[in-house]
């Protein structure tokens, strides 16, 4: 009985989504809404299939920009979190700066970055890095503070050095927080790449979105949005799988008991 209930819980969102698409399709057909205002789901899927080669052509640079930017964000975010953990002076200096970086809208500084770094890939990577490093740094810094103080007392009583405590206690305790921020950053990276491409690029899903919108190819806009969403979900799924391999004890501990 419980198994059937679990299957029902998983099928409910899928059925609701399918019903919403059916209502959308029916509403567009009955009302006769022009496709440049609101295309039907079937037309969007047809467009997605017809322009699959074009989408792949534009998706490759977006994925590459997002990947490089995400790796850069991880390196900077982990470094900032470790510096904050190791030095209270650095924490007082760096942490407020981290917060300030997030008060400035990325869309406001993007034109400056294009002026400084040009219309190539570098400016896009910088924008993605700025968007993605903050959740990694903050979540990992919070993870450092989640260390069980009893374990620290035991290791210090055994004569462990600060580096050993960091390696065997503090860093493993911070990994769940790191992966939480990593998943958020992963979801932001594709969107950040798309937004960055709006300010100047030859190829990319952001350019495809803009060109389709200016041409009133609304079904192509929806098709591109679907690809952006799927890429973001895929990246989050891959990061979650990596987290489960890296910190299995955290997921075993947080799993609901049956």
Tens digit of each residue's pLDDT (9 = 90 or more) over 136-149: 988 888 888 777 67
Domain that holds residue 240: 60-249
Is a pLDDT exceeding 80 seen at residue 49? yes
Alpha carbon distances (Å) from 123 to 116, 135, 192, 229, 231: 8, 20, 11, 23, 21
Asked whether residue 107 is assigned to any structural domain, the reply reads yes
By percentage, how much of the chain surpasses pLDDT 70? Answer: 87
User: How many angstroms separate the CA atoms of 113 and 65, rounded?
Assistant: 15
Model confidence at 8, in pLDDT bands (50, 70, 90)? low
3-state secondary structure of 257: coil
Domain-located, residue 161: yes
The residue with greater pLDDT, 169 or 131, is 131
* Contact of 197 with 124, CB cutoff 8 Å: yes
Share of the chain above pLDDT 90, in %: 31
Number of domains in the chain: 1
In a domain? residue 53: no
pLDDT at 91: 74
Q: Does 42 reside within a domain? A: no
Token pair recorded at residue 39: 């295309």
Mean pLDDT (the chain) is 83
Residue 257, pLDDT above cutoff 50? no
Task: Look at residue 207 and tell me if it is in a domain.
Answer: yes
In a domain, 45, yes or no: no
Kindly provide the b/e burial profile for residues 193-216, where b requires at least 16 CB atoms within 10 angstroms of the residue's own CB: bbbbbebbbeebbbbbbbebeeee
CATH assignment at residue 90 = 1.10.3720.10
Whether the pLDDT of residue 97 is over 70: the answer is yes
Instruction: Please compute the mean of the pLDDT values over residues 62-88 and round it to a whole number.
Output: 89
Domain assignment present for 22: no
pLDDT tens, residue by residue, 98-152: 777 777 777 777 778 878 887 788 888 988 998 898 899 888 888 887 776 776 6
3-class secondary-structure state, position 17: helix
**pLDDT at position 248:** 82
Residue 258: the pLDDT is 47
Residue 239: the pLDDT is: 93
Three-state SS for the chain is CHHHHHHHHHHHHHHHHHHHHHHHHHHHHHHCCCCCCCCCHHHHHHHHHHCHHHHHHHHHHHHHHHHHHHHHHHHHHHHHHHHHHHCHHHHHHHHHHHHHHHHCCHHHHHHHHHHHHCCCHHHHHHHHHHHHHHHHHHHHHHHHCCCCHHHHHHHHHCCCCHHHHHHHHHHHHHHHHHHHHHHHHHHHHHHHHHHHHCCCCCCCHHHHHHHHHHCCCHHHHHHHHHHHHHHHHHHHHHHHHHHHHHCHHHHHHHCCCC
Is residue 39, in this structure, part of any structural domain at all?
A: no
pLDDT tens digit string along 224-249? 999 999 999 999 999 999 998 888 87
Mean pLDDT across the stretch 19-29? 87
Taking the C-alpha atoms of residue 165 and residue 186, their distance in angstroms, rounded to an integer, is 29
Per-residue confidence (pLDDT) for residue 196, from 0 to 100: 87
More confident of the two residues 108 and 41: 41
**What's the average model confidence in pLDDT over 158-184?**
79
- Residue-level pLDDT at 58: 93
């Amino acid at each position: 009985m419980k198994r059937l209930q679990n299957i029902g819980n998983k099928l409910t969102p899928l059925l609701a989504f399918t019903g919403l698409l059916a209502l959308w399709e029916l509403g567009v057909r009955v009302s006769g809404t022009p496709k440049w205002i609101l295309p039907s789901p079937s037309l969007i899927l047809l467009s997605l299939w017809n322009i699959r080669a074009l989408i792949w052509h534009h998706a490759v640079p977006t994925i590459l920009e997002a990947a490089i930017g995400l790796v850069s964000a991880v390196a900077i975010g982990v470094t900032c979190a470790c510096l904050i953990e190791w030095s209270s002076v650095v924490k007082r200096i760096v942490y407020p700066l981290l917060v300030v970086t997030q008060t400035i809208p990325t869309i406001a500084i993007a034109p400056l970055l294009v002026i400084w770094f040009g219309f190539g890939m570098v400016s896009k990577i910088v924008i993605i890095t700025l968007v993605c490093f903050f959740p990694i740094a903050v979540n990992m810094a919070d993870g450092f503070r989640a260390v069980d103080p009893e374990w620290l007392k035991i290791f210090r009583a055994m004569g462990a050095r600060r580096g050993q405590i960091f390696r065997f206690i503090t860093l493993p305790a911070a990994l769940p927080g790191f992966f939480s921020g990593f998943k958020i950053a992963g979801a932001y990276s594709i969107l950040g790449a798309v937004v960055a491409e709006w300010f100047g690029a030859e190829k990319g899903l952001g350019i495809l979105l803009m060109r389709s919108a200016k041409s009133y190819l609304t079904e192509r806009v929806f098709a591109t949005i679907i690809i952006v969403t799927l890429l973001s979900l895929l990246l989050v799924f891959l990061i979650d799988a990596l987290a489960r391999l890296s910190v299995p004890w955290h997921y075993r501990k947080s799993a609901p008991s049956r």
